[in-house]
Amino acid sequence: MLFEQNRYMAVVFLDQDGIIKYLNETYLEILDLPRDQVVGRHVLEITPHSRAYITLQTGKAKVGYEWIVNGHHTLGTALPIFDGDKVIGVFGYTMCLDLWDGKNILDEILSNLNLYKDEVHRLHTAVYRFEDIYCASKAMTDIIILARQVANHPLTTVLITGESGTGKELFAHAIHNASRRCQRPFVRVNCAAIPENLLESELFGYEEGAYTGAKKGGKLGKFEVADMGTIFLDEIAEVPLNMQSKLLFVLQDQVVERLGGVHPTKINVRVIAATNRDLEKMVRSGSFRQDLYYRLNVVHIKIPPLRERVEDIRIITPHIMCNLSRRLNVSARKIDDSALSLLCKYAWPGNVRELENILERSLILAEMEGSRVVYSRHINISDEEIDFNLSEEKSLKNMLDEYERKLLAKTLENCQFDVPGAARQLNMDPSSLYRKLRKYGICIKKEFSIN
């Protein structure tokens, strides 16, 4: 018989007197009894609360009742067997291990699902808040006011531009965290790091069997993962032109279609895009779609480079030092005034990220010396690097003069203080060089030393 082998179904036949005539192996396993101790006995002797026996008495089928046999949770059915009007037996079957395992499996799946949900949430969480953005400059304070306002408009697209390391990602996090979407996912996509041929499936997902090698069950795209939350399209300028048009469509209609899919899915996602490239220039040169640029550029947050906001260096430095000291477990937490002034004179091509790196190095050097204070000697910026930088106290004219003075003095020294030779090298008239040397008070004798 089919049910004889069925691991999940226990089967029993009772005759008209309630005597067990047959039962399968699964039932014996549940009862934990040998066949000869069961077959031929009355059903109530083996299972005193037998529902099959009630069916035998009433002639009424009982379907899908829950009961516990020998500690096993089961789902039973008892069907009367008729000969005309007369009940001549009962066929009972009970889904047992199946139900028991099923509940366990379901519990396990649910707890796993919660684990994965937590993990997805952890992976897609914005960590920074506006409170983490340190600044004192008017430019940055104004930008923060604008960014806080835009955070309140949960569907407004934001474009963040600025040189590398200026804090674009920091702002994207802060906007998400200050918005009503803060409990929902914040999904960062680094458009520069995803190979061109995978970008579409990463962003929009695919259905099972969409292409060879596609994962079973398909794949959720980042837009779907970010539903009700924020998607942060970092390095947006790196999106190839053909994908730019698809992106535009998604942004306009808030609808995504998975690769190989037939039904578009409605989404509700705020888009924040960032780049350190000049998108307007890219639009002019045809490498970035103008319509996409307009669509992204609803609110534009332009973060100025650090060298243009020297006041911020004074504020950011102690905070970064404090965080770094904790992370690196070093004791130095203070910076000497002249070291801080040195930092204020440097041009920071790598902006705050470079400041973090230089401070990290200086903290380690100070720690190695056993110093609790960071001094200028711990800061790895050479005088040459400082010389070429604009600082807040100097005008451009002063800077150019200073640069000229250094250049003339250095050339003169290289030419063994031969003024006509230096003039030739500098491609200028010797009389002009003499005039300038006088102007800058540069000594033309050999004992002159630069600085």
Ligand X SMILES: Nc1ncnc2c1ncn2[C@@H]1O[C@H](COP(=O)(O)OP(=O)(O)OP(=O)(O)O)[C@@H](O)[C@H]1O
Nearer to Mg ion, 233 or 324 (CB): 233
Neighbour order of strands in the sheet with 158-162: 186-190, 230-234, 270-275, 158-162, 299-303
Contacting residues for 74 by C-beta, under 8 A, at least 6 apart: 10, 30, 66, 67, 68, 94, 95, 96, 99, 100
- Neighbour-count burial of 355, counting CB atoms closer than 10 A to its CB (0-12 exposed, 13-18 middle, 19+ buried): buried
Which of Mg ion, ligand X, none interacts with 352 (beta carbon under 5 to 8 A by kind)?
ligand X
Nearer to ligand X, 310 or 352 (CB): 352
Stretch that binds Mg ion, among 163-171, 203-211, 306-314, 356-364 (CB under 5 A): 163-171
Q: How far apart are CA 53 and CA 337, in angstroms?
A: 94
Question: Which tokens belong to 374?
Answer: 């960071």
Q: Residue 127 CB, nearest distance to ligand X (Å)?
A: 9
Please identify which residue in 22, 130, 134, 434 interacts with ligand X, judged by CB under 6 A.
134
Q: How far apart are CA 428 and CA 435, in angstroms?
A: 11
CB 150 within 8 A of CB 212: no
**Total count of residues recorded for the chain:** 451
Q: How far apart are CA 363 and CA 373, in angstroms?
A: 8
| Residue closest to ligand X, measured at CB | 167
Please identify which residue in 292, 352, 363, 408 interacts with ligand X, judged by CB under 6 A.
352
To which H or E segment does residue 54 belong?
helix 51-58
Nearer to ligand X, 43 or 271 (CB): 271
Which of Mg ion, ligand X, none interacts with 89 (beta carbon under 5 to 8 A by kind)?
none
CB 355 within 8 A of CB 320: yes
Q: How far apart are CA 130 and CA 353, in angstroms?
A: 17
Please identify which residue in 200, 224, 227, 356 interacts with ligand X, judged by CB under 6 A.
356
Q: How far apart are CA 352 and CA 428, in angstroms?
A: 41
Nearer to ligand X, 256 or 303 (CB): 303
Query: How many positions of this chain bind Mg ion (CB under 5 A)?
Result: 2
Stretch that binds Mg ion, among 161-169, 180-188, 252-260, 374-382 (CB under 5 A): 161-169
β-pairing, 334-335 with 373-374?
parallel
Q: Residue 161 CB, nearest distance to Mg ion (Å)?
A: 11
Query: How many positions of this chain bind ligand X (CB under 6 A)?
Result: 16
Residue linked to tokens 């090298």:
425
Q: Does 316 bind ligand X (CB under 6 A)?
A: yes
Q: Which residues, numbered 189-208, are part of the site for ligand X (CB under 6 A)?
A: none
Please identify which residue in 89, 154, 162, 205 interacts with ligand X, judged by CB under 6 A.
162
Q: Is 270 strand, coil or helix?
A: strand
Nearer to ligand X, 56 or 237 (CB): 237
Contacting residues for 203 by C-beta, under 8 A, at least 6 apart: 189, 221, 222, 223, 243, 247, 250, 256
Stretch that binds ligand X, among 33-41, 127-135, 248-256, 380-388 (CB under 6 A): 127-135
Over the window 361 to 380, marking each residue x when it contacts ligand X by CB under 6 A and - when it does not, the resulting string is: --------------------
H-type alpha helices, 334-395: 337-345, 351-369, 383-387
Q: What b/e string do you get for 424-442 counting C-beta neighbours within 10 Å, with b at 16 or more?
A: eebeeeeeebeebbeeeeb
Q: Does 356 bind Mg ion (CB under 5 A)?
A: no
Which of ligand X, Mg ion, none interacts with 170 (beta carbon under 5 to 8 A by kind)?
ligand X
Q: Does 270 bind ligand X (CB under 6 A)?
A: no
Q: Does 169 bind Mg ion (CB under 5 A)?
A: yes
Nearer to ligand X, 75 or 340 (CB): 340
Which of Mg ion, ligand X, none interacts with 135 (beta carbon under 5 to 8 A by kind)?
ligand X
Q: Does 310 bind ligand X (CB under 6 A)?
A: no
Stretch that binds ligand X, among 35-43, 76-84, 164-172, 259-267 (CB under 6 A): 164-172
Which of Mg ion, ligand X, none interacts with 56 (beta carbon under 5 to 8 A by kind)?
none
Nearer to Mg ion, 224 or 235 (CB): 235
The footprint of ligand X (CB under 6 A) covers 133-135, 162, 164-170, 276, 316, 352-353, 356
The footprint of Mg ion (CB under 5 A) covers 168-169
